[in-house]
Amino acid sequence: MVGIILASHGEFAQGILQSGSMIFGEQENVKAIALMPSQGPDDLKAKMKEAIASFDNQDEVLFLVDLWGGTPFNQANALFEEHKDKWAIVAGLNLPMLIEAYGARLSMESAHEIASFILTSAKEGIKVKPEALEPVTAKPASVQQSNAGAPGKFEYVLARIDSRLLHGQVATAWTKAMNPTRIIVVSDDVSRDKLRKNLITQAAPPGVKAHVIPVDHMIKLAKDDQHFGGQRAMLLFENPQDVLRAVEGGVALKTINVGSMAHSIGKVQPSKVLAFNQQDIDTFNKLKKAGLNFDVRKVPNDSKGNMDEILKKAQDELAKVK
């Protein structure tokens, strides 16, 4: 996995590392390096060397720094000169850039490839309100025009269980594969959390609107056949219990993409990215009885996992724990 160094003047690097963890989860092989007022360039370089030495793969390193030409950039650049065939530096560190880098690391093994990939999201993450202050530019052909208000119901292009909700894999790989016009996070808990709600709505990729709503509200919207014609909805759920509530309430889903379920106390982990307790297993069995299919994949290019085998393994592991 590509190692990432976040470097800044002051504690900005630590702060954005924490923000990234809130959205994408804790990350391995990522270090935040701060240049404090009492420190000099050599101190910063020493901390960078120490951080790189802790990485699993020291051949592929990506520096995300705050300012081009600043001391963090200059010290990273001094180290980079001996590794320019593999390492990369990107300046102008912001949260969309970091989230995109985290997502890219799951499928890209080169610092050069990731550096090139994250530039667009970093730039598109800079927006302004009122929108009239934005410079007038031609809209990309790929950006879909909203058809909100037309007669008809939502078309569900993807319904996904992912404890991280809207993150790099969803905002890039799945959005490009499914081409939604709206991303809807369906969660009672998140809809009550103003910080998480704001972060999610701001993380939407260009041309796609993001919303966070409670399960009961989603059930109401699913029954509305007057305002959502032409709208391609991607639904994101934190857990299978919310999916079951939605389906039982009338949200007409046929397939559930199972992408990530975080481990916690009382859960077993039969798959690298999926953890279950007994309630989770029972809920998936109820969804299966309701006629839903399961598409077990982190990203579109992954091969599909066998949900029956995963659930059986989880059940066996829970039995051993008891």
**Coil, strand or helix at 157:** strand
- Kindly tell me the sign of the dihedral angle through the C-alpha atoms of 227, 157, 208, 287: positive
Instruction: Collapse the DSSP code of 305 into the 3-class scheme (helix H, G, I; strand E, B; otherwise coil) and give the result.
Output: strand
The arrangement of strands across the sheet holding 61-65 comes to: 30-35, 3-9, 61-65, 88-91
Coil, helix or strand at residue 57: coil
Coil/strand/helix, residue 313:
helix
Query: Cβ distance 104 to 132 under 8 Å?
Result: no
- Alpha-carbon span 121 to 112, nearest angstrom: 16
The CA dihedral of 197, 199, 202, 204, to the nearest 10 degrees, is: -80
Planar angle of CA 306, 309, 314, nearest 5 degrees: 125
Look up 167 and say whether it is catalytic: yes
Catalytic residue among 9, 83, 112, 217: 9
| Cα–Cα–Cα angle for 213, 217, 219, rounded to 5 degrees | 120
Sign of the Cα pseudo-torsion (9, 10, 14, 18, in order): negative
Is 217 a known active-site residue?
A: no
Of 182, 238, 168, residue with least CA distance to 210:
182
Site of tokens 């939604």: 180
Give the largest Cα separation in the chain, rounded: 64
Catalytic residues: 9, 167
